[in-house]
Chains A and B, each alone.
Chain A
Amino acid sequence: MKRFEKKETGFITQVELKQTRGQIIYWVMFAVLIVVSICTFAPPLWILVSGFKDLDEFFLVPPTIIPQSFHPEKLVEVWKKFDYILYYRNTLFVALGSIVSGVVLNGLAGYVLSRLKPKGSKAVFMMILFIMMMPNTIGMVPLYLTICDFPYMHFNMLGTFWPMWLMAAASCFHILMFKSFFDSIPLSYIEAARIDGCSNVGIFFKIVVPLSIPVIMTVAIFIFNNSWGDFLWPYLVLNNKKLYTVSIFLFQNKAGNYSVDVYMVMLTLAIVPPVIVYAFLQKHIMGGMNLGGIKG
């Protein structure tokens, strides 16, 4: 049990881990966590497995828990039959546009609040904190009206991706993430560049951006996950079948239009892309959780 010596956190001390009592408690907790981690995976796993059963087995009485048949080719069938590529493309389009507008506009806002601090920016910062916590129960109808008929300029954004892209830039949480990251960049870098005659914009792109790759990655992943899972606004705005995102497609077909096993495959297809992103970029997400000023 050499690994116990690496233990640096927690209430069980090194000495106690060498005794049976401490070890029993440790392994009991370990077992509980294993069970919990199985529980978090069980529902999606069940979807994956039952989607690949053949239909006869699906309706077998009594039902099988461990599947007898496995047909991964169903994945391709469903993909082709429902034109799933269209929904993937639309969702991806929403996500990528949101990433661009969210990262650029929120990044600039965070930079202004953290580094440039023009006169009056304190008030703006307070306002952003306030907006972030404000209950958003009134905005739905007026926001829908805004999208139908933009104030003063009178254009209609229904049936376009613009509302989602613009709303991605209205994230106070991401502004604060950028701000708190920029706050941690040493001032001397910026001073040095300024003495060399670099402009604000130049400093931002030549010094701040390269240093901020981690926070940019984190925000981009957050926005990707949010947009991939976003439902209400795409549902209200994208009123044309050709523009449906994966979530709208799932919702529209929920009421048993297709057999259950086909729906399971649809669900699997919807879950896969964000899970791939998560599996490869987990570190950025975990690190980002503690950047947004939520720590106590």
Chain B
Amino acid sequence: MKLHNNQTAALSKRNKTIGTIIRDMGAWVLILPTLLILYFFVLRPIIVGAWYSLHEMQGFTIKEFVGLENYTRILADTQFPRVLWNTVQYVLWSFIIGFVPPIILAIMMNEMVHLKGWFKFSTYFPCIVPMVAATMLWFYMYLPNESGLLNTLLAHFGIEPFEWLQNDKFTIPLIMITCTWKGSGGSVIIYLASLQGVNQELYEATVIDGAGFLRRIRTIAIPHLSGIILLNAVRQIIGIFQIMAEPMTMTDGGPNGASMSIALWAYKTAFIDFNAATSLSIGVITFFLLVIFTVFYFAVQNKVQTD
């Protein structure tokens, strides 16, 4: 009798496993198309690209295996340090111009009872403008002749037209102003959403302690945001380091290579000079530079979410 019981138990257990397997199969079928697309459009290109970068290539066809030759050529290229420094400058300027304002804006918007909806609408508005339209719009604002908006304004004060993007000292910061205009609305909304989670009693408590406005921001609002601020910072480094379409459309890397970023260089090497292998090795080098930040991002994110 006891044996019989065991047998049925084992049998139903096996039926159950078969049931789960069938159920699981169904689930896998549903997710399979997405996984295939992710594989062919994201994962495989990275693996294949890394492998191809070890080869000599003619146009886009792969020839013989040459090991690290492409890499040594890139690292010896005099353009490489210059482009790398440009890219670092993009990142630095993006922090100088665009990092603090969203935090301040969010803190101020969080105070508002009047027109709050309007402020949200207007700050996020530039994110809606298509990228090329935005860069072209600023391209025409920065136009070096007299019809550029900024020169129009200068003319009203009797100042001579300025060359804006054509001046190699100003190109990168000016492109970064465009990117900040276009991109910071998203950060404001994220910061604002987080600020709404601040416990109001904390503020009341510091008021009793006699804390002024600035000290309240410093001791309550900023620490509350610190996790997201850090995540945003890492994301900004990773994102801006790969900047490409903005300089491509606004300056095409000019004047005289002053705004050439590493990603734009990789693009031009592949699609203008048809030197795919070199372009891939630039990509792999950038990849390894950025992977450090990605790992750091994951570590921070885990910590922020468990806090």
Contact = CB atoms under 8 A, between A and B. Distances in A.
A61 B146 CA distance: 8
A154 to B, nearest CB: 13
A207 to B, nearest CB: 15
Given A12-B111, A141-B60, A170 B41 contact: yes
Contact of B46 (A40, A111, A138): A138
B27 A29 contact: no
A290 B298 contact: no
A260 B147 contact: yes
B34 A142 contact: no
Contact of A143 (B45, B152, B279, B287): B45
A131 B42 contact: yes
B30 A116 contact: yes
Nearest to A247: B132
Contacts of A143: 41, 45
A263 B141 CA distance: 13
A228 interface: yes
A289 B189 contact: yes
B23 to A, nearest CB: 7
A170 B37 contact: yes
Contact of A65 (B23, B153, B231): B153
A43 to B, nearest CB: 5
Contacts of A159: none
A50 B287 CA distance: 43
B207 interface: yes
A254 B136 contact: yes
Interface in B87-110: 105, 107-110
Nearest to B282: A137
A231 B34 CA distance: 23
Contact of A267 (B136, B153, B305): B136
Nearest to A106: B34
A230 to B, nearest CB: 8
Main SS class of interface, B = helix
Nearest to B38: A170
A294 B114 CA distance: 28
Contacts of B186: 289
Nearest to A236: B271
A44 interface: yes
Nearest to B271: A236
A118 B109 contact: no
Contacts of A118: 23-25, 27-28
29 contacts: A9-B110, A9-B200, A10-B203, A11-B213, A11-B220, A16-B207, A36-B105, A37-B123, A40-B181, A43-B181, A109-B34, A118-B27, A121-B27, A131-B42, A135-B290, A135-B294, A138-B50, A144-B60, A166-B41, A167-B37, A251-B136, A260-B140, A260-B143, A260-B147, A278-B128, A286-B189, A295-B190, A296-B227, A296-B305
Interface of B: 20, 23-28, 30-31, 33-35, 37-38, 40-46, 48-50, 52-53, 60, 105, 107-115, 118-133, 136-141, 143, 146-147, 149, 152-153, 155-156, 181, 185-186, 189-190, 193-196, 198, 200, 203-204, 207, 213, 216-217, 220-221, 225, 227-228, 231, 238, 241-242, 244-245, 249, 263, 266-267, 270-271, 276, 279-280, 282-284, 286-287, 290-291, 294, 297-298, 304-305
Given A7-B111, A12-B111, A260-B143, 5 more contacts: A151-B44, A250-B136, A270-B130, A294-B228, A296-B194
